[in-house]
């Protein structure tokens, strides 16, 4: 032990410590089946970025068909096979393939991009570093939670080899459509594979989540109370609780749907359904919607709460101010998580559910606006009179806050049952979900990547390319999705193949073309992020230990920390957001730095060790 300690200390400053710690492990244990949380985090990042581009390409194919129905897709159109994919000889996608693309786009973006990035990548990277420990509580379980993701993705994409192609029942996979009622029992369709794949992803989520819970509760650094944890860790911790309690319910629903699909049981197949195969009947389709949304509404918060934490981190650091109302932020997150479990019916106002039940769900949904507004108010309070630095991470965080406000306000429209009856199943819904999931979650993920990249890879990203990327993403994002509100109110249904079929939509076709052009710009501007990452990995400036002068524990670790994370003892002396403390020369005060302070009217004042506490009281 003592020799290896001396050995590593010598190299710690060069960021090579991990190579020496690890030299007895074969390469596949270091880079492939690694149990190190930072490697697992990077694996999540890589897998999700690949899926991000697959999902994005699918979306652009959809957009092309909507803007120019009947015209061949440029470049790749004539490469598409003339089966169920494209109309023979024309390079135009078929209606069947169109719905498969909508399904795959949504599934990939939700289950293989946003959740793995928000929870898998940032959860793995941030939790052990930010609570000041060497690894997860159960590193091997952590490894398996990642290694279920690539097989799940491949199983889902293998739908392309089945007779009818990918799953096409939408990401919500409502039965009877998703039960493939004309399919023989014991045969696989894209939908069957989809069900297996999402079940596996759910299992991966649960394995990750129980690990996060155990880590946060058991492995915090010496002196760190629960209310000394950064908001990112709070967000991830509460997300883990939601995932622990919500995901298994989805798994139960998927298992039942898989039975219907594969064994021809009838949990969700009603009596007297005319189909090519025989079903005993007696099931209820709406039951699936209840089970599905019981998970999938909380899942919306799985996709946003970790990013809310990250954004709080970035806003406080780059405004050089303590987060406004730290405890209120924690309780707001907990409140959103709790309310998230009792609002699922608002997805089902049009399902034939009892209208009285709809009213209940409408009220509980509108109540969620309260904790959400607390968060937005506190973010604005944090920015107020701050010394704002417009770094890339900060720009992404500001984009998150502003887009979340728009997405949140359109959410209040939908929460109201009478309004929802009018805008249900229109592009207004599409606009809303993209404002919260892209404008919210994905910009939050960008903020996280720009913020932690120096710690993850030991290199600085290019700030100017980061700004360019965010500028074009933000502009093209709004150009793409804002007009969709108008389309939706104009009555444009979602998931339609050809808007020109409907006379009342013909006047809005120009808007569809505009959206498609903006979407293409948005898609290609993401290459700036990838280019920036790849360039910086090779030629980027070496990152210092604490490039943003932030307070939280991960910045105490060496840049690109090796196995075991920290090269010094970690003891926590104060909360994570002590910026601009009176009585200090520096405008920040890291959690790991010893020092005495007193609190007067919620303001922290530093006092020297020999000062008696009564002096600073006035």
Partner 1 sequence: MSLALNLSHEPITKIPHGKLAMWAFLASELMFFSGFFGGFIVLRNTNYDVFGAGSAHLNWTLALINTFILIGSSLTMALAIHNLEHKKDGAFRLFMGLTILGGFGFLIVKYIEYSSKFADGLFPGQENHTVFYSFYFLMTGFHALHVIAGMIPMAYIFFKGFTKAGYPYPSKVETLGLYWHFVDLMWIFIFPALYLMIPYHVAGAH
Closest contact distance (angstroms) between CB of 291 and partner 1 is 6
Interaction between residue 563 and partner 1 (CB under 8 A): yes
| 153 counts as binding partner 1 under rule CB under 8 A | no
* Window 214-233: residues binding partner 1 (CB under 8 A): 214-215, 217-222
Cα distances from 49 to residues 31, 192, 527, in angstroms, run 18, 25, 11
For the chain, how big is the Rg over CA atoms in Å? 25
Give the integer Cα–Cα distance in Å for 181 and 324: 54
The number of CA neighbours under 13 Å toward the Cβ of 135 is 17
How far apart (Å, rounded) are the C-alpha atoms in residues 516 and 511?
Answer: 9
Closer residue to partner 1 in complex, CB, 4/611: 4
Told to check if 357 binds partner 1 by CB under 8 A, we report no
Using an 8 Å Cβ cutoff, are 613 and 599 in contact?
no
Interface region with partner 1, contact rule CB under 8 A, candidates 262-270, 447-455, 457-465, 605-613: 262-270
User: Which residues ranging from 78 to 137 are in contact with partner 1 (CB under 8 A)?
Assistant: 132-134, 137
**Contact pick of 252, 348, 489, 496 for partner 1 (by CB under 8 A):** 252
Binds partner 1 (CB under 8 A): choice among 283, 444, 575, 576: 283
Q: Which stretch binds partner 1 (CB under 8 A): 44-52, 256-264, 332-340, 395-403?
A: 256-264
Using the contact rule CB under 8 A, the part of the chain among 90-98, 212-220, 349-357, 536-544 near partner 1 is: 212-220
- 571 part of the interface to partner 1, by CB under 8 A: yes
Interacting span for partner 1 (CB under 8 A) from 98-106, 228-236, 254-262, 355-363: 254-262
Q: In sequence order, what are the residues at sequence separation of 6 or more whose Cβ sits closer than 8 angstroms to the Cβ of residue 459? A: 453, 536, 537, 540, 541, 542, 543, 560
Rule CB under 8 A: say whether 426 interacts with partner 1: no
Q: Which ranges in 424-500 belong to alpha helices (H)? A: 427-434, 443-457, 463-489
CB hemisphere CA count around 192 (13 angstroms):
19
Rank residues 253 and 335 by Cβ distance to partner 1 and give the closer one: 253
Residue 458 engages partner 1 in binding (rule: CB under 8 A): no
Strand partners, 604: 599
Secondary structure of residue 427 in the 3-state scheme: helix
Q: Answer whether 87's CB lies under 8 Å from 94's CB.
A: yes
Q: How many residues bind partner 1 (CB under 8 A)?
A: 64
User: Buried b vs exposed e over 277-295: b needs ≥16 C-beta within 10 Å?
Assistant: eebeeebebbebbbbbbbb
Shortest distance, position 103 Cβ to partner 1, whole Å: 23
If one asks whether residue 185 binds partner 1 (CB under 8 A), the answer comes out as: yes
Name beta bridge partners: 600: 603
- Using a 10 angstrom Cβ sphere, with 0-12 exposed, 13-18 middle and 19 or more buried, the burial of residue 464 is exposed
Distances (CA, A) of 186 to 164, 193, 523: 16, 12, 39
Binding part of the chain for partner 1, among 167-175, 240-248, 418-426, 464-472 by CB under 8 A, reads 240-248
Closest distance of CB 60 from partner 1, Å: 36
* Footprint (CB under 8 A) of partner 1, residues 21-80: 21
Could you say which of 25, 141, 348, 517 contacts partner 1 (CB under 8 A)? 141
Of 207, 212, 49, the closest CA to residue 130 belongs to 212
Report if residue 266 touches partner 1, rule: CB under 8 A. yes
Q: DSSP letter for 342, please.
A: T
Rule CB under 8 A: which residues touch partner 1? 4-5, 8-9, 12, 17, 21, 132-134, 137-138, 141, 185-186, 206, 209-211, 213-215, 217-222, 244-253, 255-256, 259, 263-267, 280-284, 287, 290-291, 294, 563-571
């Amino acid at each position: 032990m003592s020799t290896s300690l001396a050995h590593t200390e010598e190299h710690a400053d060069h960021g090579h410590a991990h190579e020496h710690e690890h030299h007895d492990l074969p390469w596949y244990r270091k880079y492939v089946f690694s149990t190190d949380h930072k490697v697992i985090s990077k694996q999540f990042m890589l897998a999700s970025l690949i899926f991000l581009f697959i999902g994005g390409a699918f979306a652009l194919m959809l957009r092309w068909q909507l803007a120019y129905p009947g015209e061949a897709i440029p470049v790749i159109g004539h490469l598409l096979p003339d089966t169920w994919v494209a109309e023979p000889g024309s390079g135009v996608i078929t209606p069947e393939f169109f719905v498969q693309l909508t399904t795959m786009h949504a599934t990939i973006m939700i289950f293989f991009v946003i959740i793995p990035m928000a929870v898998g990548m940032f959860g793995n990277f941030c939790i052990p570093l930010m609570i000041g420990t060497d690894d997860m509580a159960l590193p091997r379980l952590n490894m398996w939670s990642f290694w279920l993701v690539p097989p799940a993705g491949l199983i889902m994409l293998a739908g392309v080899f089945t007779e009818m192609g990918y799953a096409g029942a939408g990401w919500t996979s409502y039965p009877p459509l998703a039960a493939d009622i004309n399919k023989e029992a014991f045969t696989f369709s894209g939908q069957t594979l989809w069900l297996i794949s999402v079940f596996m992803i759910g299992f991966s989520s649960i394995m990750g989540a129980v690990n996060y819970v155990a880590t946060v509760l058991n492995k915090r650094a010496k002196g760190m109370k629960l209310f000394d944890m950064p908001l990112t860790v709070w967000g991830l911790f509460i997300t883990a609780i939601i995932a622990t309690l919500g995901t298994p319910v989805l798994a139960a629903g998927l298992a039942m749907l898989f039975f219907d699909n594969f064994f021809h049981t009838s949990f969700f197949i009603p009596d007297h359904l005319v189909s090519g195969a025989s079903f005993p009947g007696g099931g209820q389709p709406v039951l699936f919607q209840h089970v599905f949304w019981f998970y999938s509404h909380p899942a919306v918060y799985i996709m946003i709460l970790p990013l809310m934490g990250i954004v709080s981190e970035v806003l406080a650091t780059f405004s050089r101010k303590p987060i406004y109302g730290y405890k209120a932020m924690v309780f707001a997150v907990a409140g959103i998580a709790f309310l998230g479990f009792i609002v699922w019916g608002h997805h089902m106002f049009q399902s034939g559910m009892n209208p009285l039940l709809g009213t209940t769900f409408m009220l509980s949904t509108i109540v969620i606006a309260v904790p959400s507004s607390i968060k937005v108010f506190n973010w604005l309070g944090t920015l107020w009179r701050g010394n704002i630095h417009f770094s890339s991470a900060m720009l992404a965080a500001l984009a998150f806050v502003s887009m979340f406000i728009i997405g949140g306000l359109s959410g209040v429209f939908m929460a109201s049952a009478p309004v929802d009856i009018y805008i249900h199943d229109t592009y207004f819904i599409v606009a809303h979900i993209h404002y919260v999931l892209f404008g919210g979650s994905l910009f939050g993920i960008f903020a996280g990547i720009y913020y932690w990249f120096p710690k993850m890879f030991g290199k600085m990203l290019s700030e100017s390319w980061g700004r360019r990327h965010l500028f074009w993403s933000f502009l093209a994002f709004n150009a793409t999705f804002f007009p969709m509100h108008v389309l939706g109110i104009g009555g444009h249904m979602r998931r339609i193949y050809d808007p020109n079929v409907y006379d009342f939509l013909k006047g809005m076709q120009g808007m569809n073309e505009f959206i498609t052009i903006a979407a293409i710009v948005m898609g290609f501007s993401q290459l700036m992020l990838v280019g920036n990452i790849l360039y910086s990995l090779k030629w980027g400036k070496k990152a210092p230990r604490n490039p943003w002068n932030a307070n939280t524990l991960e910045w105490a670790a060496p840049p690109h920390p090796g196995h075991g994370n920290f090269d010094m003892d970690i003891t926590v002396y104060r909360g994570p957001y002590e910026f601009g403390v009176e009585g200090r020369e520096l405008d920040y005060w890291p959690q790991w730095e010893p020092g005495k302070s007193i609190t007067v009217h919620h303001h922290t004042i530093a006092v020297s060790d020999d000062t008696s506490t009564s002096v600073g009281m006035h």
